């Protein structure tokens, strides 16, 4: 049996890599700790624990849930870190994706009088920016269309 990245082998696999730096240390395979699919390093975000990945499909929802604040997927949401701490937690993302997230957060915080804490709305904005910039949103649409086509719906 050959191990294949779920996203690389997905329908019309054109999704951008989410990581900017692929090196011998992180150019490997892993299984998403949230959903269990196999992903290559380019489509998986490595957690603080070296052998734990989150696939590109789960990073956005993870940002919404815990926003880099150190909570696991099943743990309750704690008050979020400030914007800079949040961005450092995701510093391994491809620079274009991180810049898109930073830009959206800067826009959000410039229109509010709140401190730069990653509240629920800020996490939602960051997750949406990630999904758009990484290609996850488009990949999900293609996956949904492929599923409907296979099912005959």
DSSP state of 3: -
Residue 70's pLDDT is what?
44
Instruction: Give the pLDDT confidence score for residue 19 in this predicted structure.
Output: 64
Cα 50 to Cα 71: distance, rounded to the nearest angstrom: 17
- Tell me the domain boundaries of the chain: 56-151
The tens place of each residue's pLDDT in the chain, 153 residues long, gives 567 778 777 776 566 666 665 555 445 677 888 888 888 877 887 766 666 778 888 888 888 877 654 444 444 445 567 899 889 888 888 889 999 999 999 999 998 876 788 888 999 999 999 999 988 888 888 888 888 888 876
Ordered DSSP codes for 96-118 = HHHHHHHHHHHHHHHT--S-SB-
- pLDDT given at position 71: 40
Residue 105 has a pLDDT of: 94
Q: Which residues pair with 38 in a beta bridge?
A: 31
């Amino acid at each position: 049996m050959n191990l294949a990245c779920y996203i690389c082998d997905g329908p019309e696999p054109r999704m951008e890599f989410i990581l900017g730096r692929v090196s011998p240390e992180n150019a490997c395979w892993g299984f998403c700790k949230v959903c269990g699919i196999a992903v290559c390093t380019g489509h998986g975000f490595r957690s603080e624990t070296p052998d734990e990945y989150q696939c590109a499909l789960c990073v956005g929802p993870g940002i919404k849930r815990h926003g880099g604040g150190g909570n696991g997927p099943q743990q309750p949401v704690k008050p979020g870190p400030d914007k800079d701490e949040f961005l450092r937690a995701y510093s391994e993302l491809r620079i274009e994706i991180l810049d898109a997230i930073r830009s959206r957060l800067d826009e959000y915080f410039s229109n509010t009088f709140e401190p730069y804490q990653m509240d629920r709305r800020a996490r939602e904005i960051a997750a949406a920016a990630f999904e758009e910039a990484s290609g996850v949103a488009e990949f999900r649409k293609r996956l949904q269309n492929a599923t409907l086509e296979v099912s005959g719906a």
